[in-house]
Amino acid sequence: MPRHPRIPDAGVTRLSLYLRELSRLEGEGASFVSSAELARALTLTSAQVRRDLSYFGQFGTSGRGYEIRRLKRIIPRILGLEGRMWRVALVGSGNLGSALLAYRGFRERGFVIKAVFDKDPRKVGRVVAGQRVEEAGWLADVVRGRRIQIGIIAVPAVAAQEVCRRLVRGGVRAILNFAPVSLAAPPHVKLRNVDLSVELESLSYYLSSLNANR
């Protein structure tokens, strides 16, 4: 991919949002969309949309906007989702893990879950969303053997760091962590934390500073 000068991190994240909105628009039969429309749908500004896209090329048409079909082909290419699959391991088959497994969106975007692990012997052997839950003991070896590139951590906080270590030992290059702890990983592994609790807490800040009470 071209990958021009300095591309804001925030902009990259928004590309997936554009992609999702484009699918919705296409489903409604639209064939062009303006930056203003996209912006309205996603609570952004039109300049933001244009700027984000302009980092990667000139995809729009003056006076008309962006051709939806074209953009739907281009964005996955930019994101590195085109013509390839990412091999994913999910660790933890509790409620959150199951929710992730059940989510169709991953597969649609090229993320294929190649292994599901759980420490709990009662869960091992079960089949969740077509995936057999495996013994977590040899996680690293299995991950390496199946050439898995991405790990998703959906285990309790106390277990997360150890799981992280094993995933790294197995050779993953990226980890998505849902456990409420900050994990340490070597610099060559891209680590992203998604913290369900932190989101709620910062909402509290805005609520309580906005108005006194209710």
Partner DNA sequence: GCATGTGAAATAATTCACAGCA
Partner DNA sequence: TGCTGTGAATTATTTCACATGC
* Chain residues that interact with DNA, rule: CB under 7 A: 6, 8-11, 34-36, 44-48, 50-51, 53-54, 58-66
Minimum CB distance to a copy of itself, residue 156 (Å): 10
Minimum CB distance to a copy of itself, residue 60 (Å): 21
Rule CB under 8 A: is residue 30 a binding residue for a copy of itself? no
Q: Which is nearer to DNA, 42 or 128 (CB)?
A: 42
Kindly provide the b/e burial profile for residues 78-117, where b requires at least 16 CB atoms within 10 angstroms of the residue's own CB: beebeeeebbbbbbbbeebbbebbeeeebeebbbebbbbb
When CB distances are held under 5 to 8 angstroms depending on the partner's kind, the choice from a copy of itself, DNA, none that residue 103 binds is a copy of itself
When CB distances are held under 5 to 8 angstroms depending on the partner's kind, the choice from a copy of itself, DNA, none that residue 18 binds is none
Q: Which is nearer to DNA, 65 or 97 (CB)?
A: 65
CA-nearest of 147, 151, 11 to 79 is 11
Q: Is 173 helix (H, G, I), strand (E, B) or coil?
A: coil
Q: Is 196 helix (H, G, I), strand (E, B) or coil?
A: helix
